[in-house]
């Protein structure tokens, strides 16, 4: 399809995902951004992209430049869902502008990281009518990300913006057409034998046909591994060494990285690559700067497996030092941390690998790639990262967002066990977080015990506010109101705006409980105004949700749905799955009340799926998880 499109003057881009990069956030998108920079037509379109969008996109590609000047690297962290929304929106707007009228192929999406899939889902939801054809390919047998891909495609088909084409094995007619297209001199003589030997597997058919084109016969071993080995053995030692280095890089490899890590001169590297290109073992994927890739990932795996253990460790150490030396800014180093960690680990440098995995986790977390951050932190712990309490607390935060409450409690308790009695404030903070997790599960008494444990060390207005909400859930309205008033007084005395936003939201909840909807709406509106000033995602989501409920109770369904939809968008970018489920459930109620039954059922199914998934992550039945409506 790309060949036909190019023949008709249509611009095409081709990005691939790799199994070795399935835990590296946004890697195929970074490759696409680089391809845009290197295309003479597409790079000119960057002039049409707003500076804000370019600024946000440079978080992924710190060396992003327009045709006229490089962009400054963003220094502000992505600490809120509103910031992530701007981040996703910036990338979406850039892709729509630069890729208008093009075909963009994302190949082998079964190896994509979950952050990339999240961004693709956002692109599908928020893209305008800009003519862009996005081709996605994946293998159904690769089950790791199939549910997420299935959801993206199902929604695209339902909205009639996408079509799924399921490809099976080749038939005899397909193999015959393949031979006629790629080796017409062999057409009619090898078709049936090629179909029998390959059993309709396109990779095997291509490999056999390639061997036949090189005048080899059917005595070649009947597996792709043996066939590829026979091609590799024909290479001289120097190109083979370059292949080993490229395989250790584990991705499409830049010329500079290959040369430095292999220890070869520029001339030797060029000569070796020319041999590999001529043998069709690698292909050139970009010209400026030069970039190459293996012609098939099976070949990459085979070369790596055939490399001795000691040489692999040496190569990974060299690659890590090469990548480090190529980064020019702290932002670039942070973006490269996951690669550095990967190579240091495979080189046996566990201490440095642990440090880099911690940095990679911080970077992924700043981009809301929560699952990737979780993996990085866990790997850092396994490799012996020194500040274990810090990592366990970070793991608890991420498990909480993902709805893995038992895991979050275990992580926080482990963090406490790694602290000394002198670290009182850190212990109080962890006790507070433990209380919040138990509160999410509906374990009100257990939550209160943790809140009180934290309060014996340090009493803060935020802690008082959380105790007030807990008292509200325990059906103790007098105590809830008294604690809320204490929190309000302390927050006003210290000018603690984030806590003030939380307390006004809480006072709105207490007013709503008394059916004083006018007072509740005033408090929620005040809370929202404070949250928007502070760019506080959690308080903003809570205020919007509660405002939506009040609007619905007053019969203002359209205003309520709008508030809840805004809250849901923020919650999705933050990755708080439990509250996301609650927002879907609340939207279902409002759409049903407004007579929009089909939309209500859609949100109800989304809520049920999330609630069920969160419930499955625990060993005990937690009915309160399903009852969350306000917070």
71 and 64 in contact (C-beta within 8 Å)?
yes
List helix spans (H) across 46-169: 51-57, 81-98, 114-126, 146-158
Closest C-alpha to 604, from 626, 625, 620? 626
Mean pLDDT, rounded, for 488-510 = 94
Query: Going by C-beta distance under 8 Å and a sequence separation of 6 or more, which residues neighbour residue 40?
Result: none
- Which pLDDT value is given to residue 223? 59
Distance, CA of 559 to CA of 145 (rounded, Å): 36
Q: Do the strands 291-294 and 282-286 form a parallel or antiparallel pair, or are they unpaired?
A: antiparallel
pLDDT reading at 545 higher than 80: yes
Region of 555 please: left (phi>0), alpha (psi -120 to 50) or beta.
Answer: left
Q: Return the structure tokens found at 209.
A: 């046909």
Write down all domains in the chain, each with its CATH number in brackets: 2-158 (no CATH), 172-220 (no CATH), 459-631 (1.25.40.10)
Distance, CA of 360 to CA of 367 (rounded, Å): 11
Query: According to the 3-state scheme, what is the secondary structure of 331-378?
Result: HHHHHCHHHHHHHHHHCCCHHHHHHHHHHHHHHHHHCCCHHHHHHHHH
- Report the SS3 class of residue 324: helix
Distance, CA of 515 to CA of 332 (rounded, Å): 53
Q: Which residue has the higher pLDDT, 218 or 132?
A: 132
The percent of residues above 90 in pLDDT, for the chain, comes to 66
pLDDT reading at 69 higher than 60: no
Distance, CA of 112 to CA of 148 (rounded, Å): 11
Q: Which residue has the higher pLDDT, 234 or 292?
A: 292
Mean pLDDT, rounded, for 413-423 = 94
pLDDT reading at 541 higher than 50: yes
Distance, CA of 129 to CA of 135 (rounded, Å): 17
- Which pLDDT value is given to residue 74? 62
Least confident of 135-139, 393-397, 451-455, 614-618: 614-618
CA 553 to chain centre: 37
Residue 28 to residues 13, 33, 57, 162, 562: CA-CA distances in angstroms?
12, 9, 14, 20, 34
Q: Which residues of 191-205 are buried (b: 16+ CB within 10 A; e: fewer)?
A: beebbebbeeeeebb
- Report the SS3 class of residue 387: coil
pLDDT, tens digit, for every residue of 11-41? 999 999 988 888 889 999 999 999 999 999 9
Residue 244, phi then psi, degrees to nearest 5: -60, -40
Residue 380 to residues 54, 71, 340: CA-CA distances in angstroms?
32, 32, 13
* Confidence band for 620, pLDDT divided at 50, 70 and 90: low
Distance, CA of 374 to CA of 168 (rounded, Å): 36
Query: Going by C-beta distance under 8 Å and a sequence separation of 6 or more, which residues neighbour residue 382?
Result: none
Region of 449 please: left (phi>0), alpha (psi -120 to 50) or beta.
Answer: alpha
- Which pLDDT value is given to residue 221? 42
79 and 498 in contact (C-beta within 8 Å)?
no
CA 390 to chain centre: 22
pLDDT reading at 224 higher than 70: no
Dihedral sign from CA coordinates of 320, 322, 325, 328: negative
Least confident of 46-55, 108-117, 139-148, 512-521: 139-148
Q: How deeply is 274 buried, as exposed, middle or buried, from its count of CB atoms within 10 A (0-12, 13-18, 19+)?
A: exposed
Least confident of 146-155, 166-175, 337-346: 146-155
Least confident of 196-205, 313-322, 345-354, 423-432: 196-205
Averaged confidence pLDDT in the chain:
90
Mean pLDDT, rounded, for 135-139 = 88
Mean pLDDT, rounded, for 372-386 = 96
Q: Return the structure tokens found at 570.
A: 């923020």
Q: Which residues of 210-232 are buried (b: 16+ CB within 10 A; e: fewer)?
A: bbbeeeeeeebeeebeebbeebb
Query: Going by C-beta distance under 8 Å and a sequence separation of 6 or more, which residues neighbour residue 507?
Result: 484, 488, 523
17 and 106 in contact (C-beta within 8 Å)?
yes
- Which pLDDT value is given to residue 614? 87
435 and 451 in contact (C-beta within 8 Å)?
yes
- Which pLDDT value is given to residue 121? 87
Region of 71 please: left (phi>0), alpha (psi -120 to 50) or beta.
Answer: beta
pLDDT, tens digit, for every residue of 558-610? 999 999 999 999 998 888 999 999 999 999 999 999 999 999 999 999 999 99
Q: Which residues of 136-167 are buried (b: 16+ CB within 10 A; e: fewer)?
A: bebeeeeeebeebbeebbeebeeeeeeeeeee
Q: Do the strands 291-294 and 133-136 form a parallel or antiparallel pair, or are they unpaired?
A: unpaired
pLDDT reading at 617 higher than 70: no
Give Dmax over CA atoms of the chain in angstroms: 90
* Confidence band for 486, pLDDT divided at 50, 70 and 90: very high
Q: Return the structure tokens found at 599.
A: 């939309």
pLDDT reading at 144 higher than 50: no
Mean pLDDT, rounded, for 59-75 = 72
Residue 629, phi then psi, degrees to nearest 5: -130, -35
- Which pLDDT value is given to residue 100? 92
Distance, CA of 114 to CA of 112 (rounded, Å): 6
- Which pLDDT value is given to residue 18? 87
* Confidence band for 143, pLDDT divided at 50, 70 and 90: very low
624 and 442 in contact (C-beta within 8 Å)?
yes
Least confident of 16-30, 412-426, 485-499, 600-614: 16-30
pLDDT, tens digit, for every residue of 260-283? 999 999 999 999 999 999 888 899
């Amino acid at each position: 399809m790309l060949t036909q499109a190019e023949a008709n003057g249509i611009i095409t881009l081709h990005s691939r995902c790799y199994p070795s990069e399935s835990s590296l956030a946004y890697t195929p998108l970074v490759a696409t951004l680089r391809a845009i920079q290197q295309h003479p037509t597409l790079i000119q379109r960057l002039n049409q992209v707003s500076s804000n969008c370019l600024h946000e996109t440079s978080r992924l590609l710190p060396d992003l430049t327009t045709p006229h000047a490089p962009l400054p690297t963003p220094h502000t962290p992505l600490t809120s869902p509103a910031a992530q929304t701007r981040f996703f929106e910036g990338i979406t707007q850039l892709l729509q502008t630069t890729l208008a009228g093009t075909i963009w192929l994302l190949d082998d999406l079964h190896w994509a990281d979950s952050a990339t899939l999240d961004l693709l889902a956002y692109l599908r939801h928020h893209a305008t009518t800009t003519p862009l054809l996005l081709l996605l390919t994946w293998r159904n047998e690769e089950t790791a990300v199939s549910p997420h891909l299935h959801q993206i495609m199902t929604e695209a088909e339902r909205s009639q913006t996408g079509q799924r084409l399921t490809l099976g094995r080749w038939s005899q007619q397909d193999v015959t057409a393949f031979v006629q297209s790629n080796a017409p001199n062999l057409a009619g003589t090898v078709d049936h034998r090629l179909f029998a030997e390959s059993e309709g597997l396109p990779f095997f058919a291509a490999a056999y046909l390639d061997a036949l084109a090189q005048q080899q016969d059917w005595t070649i071993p009947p597996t792709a591994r043996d066939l590829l080995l026979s091609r590799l053995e024909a290479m001289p030692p120097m190109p083979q060494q370059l292949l080993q280095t490229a395989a250790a890089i584990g991705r499409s490899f830049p010329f500079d990285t290959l040369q430095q890590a292999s220890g070869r001169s520029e001339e030797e590297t060029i000569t070796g690559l020319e041999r590999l290109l001529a043998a069709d073992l690698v292909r050139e994927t970009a010209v400026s700067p030069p970039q190459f890739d293996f012609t098939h990932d099976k070949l990459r795996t085979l070369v790596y497996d055939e490399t001795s253990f000691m040489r692999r460790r040496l190569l990974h150490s060299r690659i890590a030092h090469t990548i480090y030396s190529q980064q020019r800014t702290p932002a670039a180093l942070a973006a490269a941390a996951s690669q550095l960690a990967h190579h240091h680990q495979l080189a046996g440098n566990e201490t440095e690998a642990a440090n880099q995995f911690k940095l990679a986790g911080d970077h992924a977390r700043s981009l809301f790639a929560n699952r990737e951050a979780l993996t990085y932190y866990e790997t850092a712990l396994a490799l012996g990262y020194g500040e274990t309490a810090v990592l366990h607390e970070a793991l608890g935060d991420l498990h909480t967002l993902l709805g893995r409450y038992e895991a979050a409690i275990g992580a926080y308790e482990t963090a406490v066990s790694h602290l000394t009695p002198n670290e009182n404030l850190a212990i109080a903070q962890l006790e507070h977080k433990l209380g919040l997790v138990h509160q999410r599960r509906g374990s009100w008494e257990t939550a209160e015990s943790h809140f009180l444990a934290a309060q014996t060390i340090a009493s803060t207005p935020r802690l008082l506010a959380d105790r007030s909400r807990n008292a509200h859930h325990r059906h103790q309205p007098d105590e809830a109101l008294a604690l809320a008033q204490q929190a309000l007084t302390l927050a006003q005395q210290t000018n603690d705006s984030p806590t003030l936003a939380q307390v006004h939201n809480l006072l709105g909840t207490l007013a709503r409980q008394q059916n004083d909807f006018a007072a509740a709406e005033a408090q929620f509106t005040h809370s929202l105004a404070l949250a928007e000033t502070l760019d506080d995602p959690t308080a903003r989501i809570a205020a919007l949700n509660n405002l939506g409920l009040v609007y619905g109770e007053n019969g203002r369904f359209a205003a309520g749905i709008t508030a809840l939809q805004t809250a849901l968008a923020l919650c999705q970018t933050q990755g708080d799955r439990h509250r996301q489920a609650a927002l879907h459930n609340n939207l279902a109620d409002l759409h049903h009340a407004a007579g929009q039954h089909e939309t209500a059922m859609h949100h109800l199914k989304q809520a049920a799926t999330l609630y069920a998934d969160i419930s499955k992550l625990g060993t005990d039945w937690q009915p309160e998880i399903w009852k969350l409506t306000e917070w």
